[in-house]
Amino acid sequence: MADRGYEDELHSERAYVDELYARLDAERARAKGRYHAALRGNGSTLLDRDAEVRALAREVKRLDVADNTLCFGRLDSVAGEVSYIGRIGLYDEGNEYEPLLLDWRAPAARPFYVATAASPENMRRRRQFHSRGRRLVEFTDEVLGRPGGDARGDAALLAAVAAPRGEGMRDIVATIQAEQDEIIRLDHPGVLVIEGGPGTGKTVVALHRVAYLLYTRRERIERHGVLVVGPNPAFLNHIGRVLPSLGESDVVFMTTGDLVPGLRVTAEDPPEAARVKGSLRILDVLAAAIADRQRLPEQPLPIELADVTVRIDAGTAEWAREEARASELPHNEARVVFREIVTYVLTERAIGRIGRGWLTRDDKAAWEDMRKDLTAELADNSAFTAALDLLWPVLTPKDLLSSLYSSPERLRAAGADPALFRAAGAAWTVSDVPLLDELADLLGGGDPDVRAADRARTAEAEYAAGVLDLMVDRADMMDDEDHLFAQDLLYAEDLADRFLERDTRELVERAAADRNWTYRHVVVDEAQELSEMDWRVLMRRCPGRSFTIVGDLAQRRSAAGARSWDTVLRPYVPGRWVYRSLTVNYRTPAEIMTVAAAVLAEFAPGIEPPESVRACGVRPWSRRVTEHELADAVAEFVEAEAGREGTSVVIGPPDVPGAVAASETKGLEFDAVLVVEPERILADGPRGAAELYVALTRATQRLGVLHRQPLPAALHGLTDTGTPVAAGGRPNGR
């Protein structure tokens, strides 16, 4: 295109984009006005106002995310139709809602991502916009339908992957590639496993899939939200902006250490303890630990009443224990059964002694009156309560697990591995969290009487909610010829006001604080690290079994982690999960990936590394230093990178000043990475090799390695330099 023609086209496209922003501003102002009016009520019913406020709040959030790169492209079809593709959909209300801007998730927008020169999807041209804020800077055209084209030469993609990194992960909505788009739009309601090596974009694909599912199945998912589970807080902070940038906010972000409300656990166990705790065999240990606390008295326990002393002997306690266990109630709730049996035996014995010679069973009224008095007296008797606490104590998950770990005798009684022993008061670890969650189910609530009352209130609230939902559903289904009886809605609202507390917290807050909350969809990132016990927790959180699972078995470092996806999923969704792989590395340049692939070949020879989409022109380097030179060499790297745009990190053992562990960088990316003492990282066996592989594949531009001992053989592909290589690939002069 001639320069003049290009400038005219650019001017025309800018005018169109400006018009889209004007319409966006108008819609945003209108939505905010309606939202504030709904808050005031305007005479509507409580039910209608709640529904309208929530719907308008979502609309305001949707419109607020679109300021940056509202429109990022255009499609011209063979038939001459033009469609603009953007972050959200905008329509011309005055022209039968003709689309002015297609939401990237709409079916009609799909060719923007999948059309190729060889398979144009009935499209003639794809135009990609490059914007800065609200201003369209330039555009590039790709003519479709010409054989021999190569999508990997796409200028927009290469510009995006080579751009300096910021503080958080960016969405890829403007540059989604065909293999990514196929996964994002996959029509599978169950479990999807996305596997890919470093830099393949599996995390960001999973997040865009969440946005797509919320677009296509919003009614099903929105009211219960989505849970995203990541490996550490830094990772969650890194990815936390992606979904809000796509207009989706009803998403809870957690690590496995956060899955029990009130806990924020980051400490890790040694490998052997983590392996033991992560295995399903720990379920037998937990059950045995509970059973060990359901005791029989070694000697009869005397209970002094006003007129008689009775005793709880081993036979009575054993009968009560059998009945309580047979009830199959959680331990704390089964205490009611245990207490009832013991109370019955003691009152029978007391009545027999007190009424000897004048009271017989034939006098049923007098017998039962005396039983009521004795039962009330036992309930207030401190010795009786103490006996119950000794024989069938109320237990909490934390107290039970802590007392188990710190007692060699209790560990032996429960048949536990000695690796579980630790001193009393030790901090919880991430491997403890699924055990605490399991114990919450096995033990049940604290006070059994309060628990029963809570269940009754919950049942009433659920009934009220069911009636309310039914009325709303009926209202939605009514056509113009039907009507809904006024008393139906009044009855539903009355129930809601009586039994349902009006919780004004956002869905994310309510879900995160409620252990019993269930999600409609769960994303699990770095899933290869999760143990069998971790999966039990997550399956409880999503009874509908709708998951997007993201991982790379080659990067597994946890002794309790997955060795195959089928082993993980077969107990829950046998034969009902699908697998997709990503093969193109968009993050790591070819020069760095060559080095990382040599490490991969040594510890996982059967796994193919992903193919890098680009080269950066900067060779990764290594430098051997003495112990005294190490700190200065690290400081030189940090100083060299401080003056450059982008991000950098030092990865190494914990005693290296300023270094972070490789495990803390999983899922993250940096423009420049310095790996310190790889020989020490590798010394941790297969786990260490996986850590080194992770460390080497975090860089998007520049990689350096400092080592004190001889360089491991797998890293001989590095350029050996006597001084660190500065930004840009040249050795620093000194």
Distances (CA, A) of 418 to 182, 265, 271, 411: 48, 23, 14, 7
In this structure, what are the phi and psi dihedrals at residue 579, rounded to the nearest 5 degrees? Answer: -120, 135
DSSP line for 465-483: HHHHHHHHHHHHH--TT--
- 3-state SS string over 365-391? HHHHHHHHHHHHHHHCCHHHHHHHHHH
CA distance linking residue 451 with residue 455, whole number of Å:
6
User: What tokens does 652 get?
Assistant: 């190494």
Relative to beta strand 71-77, strand 123-132 is antiparallel
Q: Which residues contact 156 (CB under 8 A, 6 or more apart)?
A: 128, 130, 140, 174, 175
- Residue-wise DSSP of 651-694: E--TTSTT-B-GGGGTT--EEEEEEE-HHHHHTTHHHHHHHHHH
The C-alpha angle 592, 598, 599, rounded to 5 degrees, equals 95
Tell whether 575 is in a known binding site.
Answer: no
H/E segment holding residue 401: helix 397-405
Backbone angles phi, psi at 172, to 5 degrees: -115, 25
What 8-state DSSP symbol labels residue 733? Answer: P
Q: What are phi and psi of 270, to 5 degrees?
A: -60, 155
> Do the annotations mark residue 200 as ligand-binding?
yes
Using the CB atoms, write b or e for 405-438: b if 16+ within 10 Å: bbeeebbeebebbebbeeeeeeebbbbbbbbbbb
What is the C-alpha to C-alpha distance for residues 334 and 325, in angstroms, rounded to an integer? 7
Has 262 been labeled as part of a binding site?
Answer: no
Q: For the chain, how many residues are written?
A: 734
Amino acid symbol at 272: E
**Under 8 Å CB-to-CB from 519, ≥6 apart: which residues?**
224, 225, 226, 227, 252, 511, 541, 542
25's tokens: 């501003």
Read off the DSSP letter of residue 163: S
- 231 labelled ligand-binding: no
Q: Which of 397, 495, 487, 411 is nearest to 446 (CA)?
A: 397
CA separation for the pair 467, 489 (Å, rounded): 9
Q: 111 among the known binding-site residues?
A: no
Closest CA to 332 of 480, 164, 450, 460: 450
Please, how many CA atoms are within 13 Å of residue 141, restricted to the half-sphere of its CB?
11
Amino acid at 141: D
Residue 233 exposed, middle or buried by CB count within 10 Å (0-12, 13-18, 19+): middle
Does 201 count as an annotated binding residue? yes
Helices first, then strands: H and E counts in the chain: 27, 21
Strand order in the sheet with 191-196: 251-255, 226-230, 521-524, 547-551, 191-196, 577-582
Annotated binding site for ATP: 196-203
